[in-house]
Amino acid sequence: MRCLSLEFHYPNGKKFIQPGEKKITKKTKEKDFTYSNRGMTLEEDLNETNQYYLASGKAVIHKKPTPVQIVQVDYPKRSAAVIKEAYFKQASTTDYNGVYKGRYIDFEAKETRFKTSFPLQNFHQHQIEHIRQVLNQSGIAFVILRFSKIEEVYLLEGKTLLFFWERMENGGRKSITFTEVAQYGHKISLGFQPRIDYIKIIDQLYHLN
Amino acid sequence: MRCLSLEFHYPNGKKFIQPGEKKITKKTKEKDFTYSNRGMTLEEDLNETNQYYLASGKAVIHKKPTPVQIVQVDYPKRSAAVIKEAYFKQASTTDYNGVYKGRYIDFEAKETRFKTSFPLQNFHQHQIEHIRQVLNQSGIAFVILRFSKIEEVYLLEGKTLLFFWERMENGGRKSITFTEVAQYGHKISLGFQPRIDYIKIIDQLYHLN
């Protein structure tokens, strides 16, 4: 198979951005340059965190591949199959899952540039449904919320997210206020390795330590 | 997003086959037509089984999307983004995972048309490594092996697969004999709903019932 770098550019030099991924402009890159975050996206930080957990034998958690509907594939002679037509599909689950001390771990990660609230439209109905199914199966489900402007990251338990989701469905506000996230969520300390140590919070919440 | 059927055909009418997926010829389709299996692939049977588990609230287990390396995407006006160039990537984990009664479930499914042995080349080194990591994390890891000619399906525990893999690495045979699979694995009864009731075996092995 041909070896390809993860980043690529259009012929016009424009960088390809995955749908849902925040475009990092040079300006925000410079602005966010601190010890805990050097312009990395939440996804990059979590991938490095999971890589650290895996290498150190702490947990086995992976991001699921982006679901793609393949329509046309070419099989050139003497080289790898090339997908010539495909479309992004909506995922039916959350993005991350795996195992920690025998327990099933499942989460979705989202970031916002809002400072005072986290819009619930960041989540899809099917993701909420998946979180509900995982909780019914006694799995550990949660979301990781990043307020990128203030560089704060919170873990919000699945049941808490469901509470706010149902409040919205019952005619309430379409977001969780920052104050609510800070009160009902669990702030994750940011570090060098691991960057976003969410397992520490899971240890505390589920007494797995 | 455009709605596309999972099956598609080339302009010449040839059906697209995912890499690694067995091509079903008309002949084998007719031959395999019985109550328990009507020419369905192992993947189709497992997807329906998992769908049944999900709908009945028994377990939440999904197949991971095929990992694809996206190289070029077009964004036509007023229609969905089209992936114009992409390549199949090798998965870094097994294909299926999820949660059952709080426990992490992880497996790979493979079929062979051999009658007397199951070739170990059906598995990749990284999948074996992943199974080892999951077992170290006290997850429930196994493989589902289908002998398609005789329509028998077995669950082989992760630790048992590792035993035969290490035998190969130490210079032993490059396959597991059918007799060994039958002796050290667990035969899964095939039914209508669910088709391949592997959770029943997990209940027995881990006393989760």
pLDDT 10s digits, B99-144: 999 999 999 999 999 999 999 999 999 999 999 999 999 999 999 9
Confirm or deny that B127 is annotated as ligand binding. Answer: yes
- By C-alpha distance, the chain A residue nearest B106 is A98
pLDDT at B23 over 60: no
Q: Check residue B91 and give its pLDDT.
A: 87
- Inspect the interface and report whether the beta carbons of B87 and A91 lie closer than 8 Å: no
Query: What's the pLDDT tens digit per position in A12-50?
Result: 444 444 554 444 444 444 444 444 445 679 999 999 999
Tokens 């004999």 — which residue?
B177
Shortest CB distance from B65 goes to which of A57, A65, A105? A65
- Inspect the interface and report whether the beta carbons of B99 and A134 lie closer than 8 Å: yes
- Inspect the interface and report whether the beta carbons of A87 and B1 lie closer than 8 Å: yes
- By C-alpha distance, the chain B residue nearest A86 is B83
When pLDDT is averaged across residues A179-195 and rounded to a whole number, the result is 96
Q: How far is B143 from chain A (nearest CA, A)?
A: 17
In a domain, B37, yes or no: yes
In a domain, A182, yes or no: yes
Specify the higher pLDDT residue, B82 or A1.
B82
What's the CATH number where B152 sits? 3.40.1350.10
In a domain, B168, yes or no: yes
Q: Check residue B95 and give its pLDDT.
A: 95
Question: In three state form, how does the secondary structure of chain B look?
Answer: CCCCCCCCECCCCCECCCCCCCCCCHHHHHHCECCCCECCCHHHHHHHHHHHHHHCCCCEEEECCCCEEEEEEECCCCCCCEEEEEEECCCCCCCEEEEECCEEEEEEEEEECCCCEEEHHHCCHHHHHHHHHHHHCCCEEEEEEEECCCCEEEEEEHHHHHHHHHHHHCCCCCEEEHHHHHHHCEEECECCCCCECHHHHHHHHHCCC
When pLDDT is averaged across residues B18-38 and rounded to a whole number, the result is 43
Q: In terms of C-beta density within 10 A (0-12 exposed, 13-18 middle, 19 or more buried), how is residue A176 classed?
A: buried
Q: Check residue B35 and give its pLDDT.
A: 40
In a domain, B190, yes or no: yes
Paired with A121 in beta bridges are none
Q: How far is B87 from chain A (nearest CA, A)?
A: 5
Q: Check residue A40 and give its pLDDT.
A: 77
When pLDDT is averaged across residues B191-199 and rounded to a whole number, the result is 95
Q: Tell me the C-alpha distance between A121 and A124, whole Å.
A: 7
Q: What are phi and psi of B68, to 5 degrees?
A: -130, 135
Supply angle C-alpha A197, A200, A201, rounded to 5. 105
* CA distance readout (Å), B160 to A61, A63, B78, B131, B180: 23, 27, 53, 11, 10
* Summary mean pLDDT of chain B: 86
- Return the residue in A5, A50, A52, A60 with the most chain B beta carbons within 10 A, the one to mutate for interface testing: A60
In a domain, B15, yes or no: no
Q: Tell me the C-alpha distance between B35 and B72, whole Å.
A: 45
Domain that holds residue B78: 26-206
In a domain, A116, yes or no: yes
Share of chain B above pLDDT 70, in %: 81
Task: For residue B40, name the pLDDT band (cuts at 50, 70, 90).
Answer: confident
Q: How far is A49 from chain B (nearest CA, A)?
A: 16
Tokens 């104050």 — which residue?
A179
Query: What's the pLDDT tens digit per position in A129-146?
Result: 999 999 999 999 999 999
Q: What is the ipTM of this complex?
A: 0.81
Chain A residues with CB inside 8 Å of B138's CB?
Answer: 99, 101-102
Of A93-107, A126-140, B2-16, B178-192, give the lowest mean pLDDT range: B2-16
Tokens 């999307």 — which residue?
B65
When pLDDT is averaged across residues B70-86 and rounded to a whole number, the result is 93
Q: How far is A75 from chain B (nearest CA, A)?
A: 11
In a domain, A86, yes or no: no
Enumerate the known binding-site residues of A for Mg(2+): 93, 95, 108, 127
Share of chain A above pLDDT 90, in %: 75
Assess contact for A103 and B104: CB atoms under 8 A.
Answer: yes
Number of structural domains, chain B? 1
* Summary mean pLDDT of chain A: 86
In a domain, A79, yes or no: no
Q: Check residue A12 and give its pLDDT.
A: 45
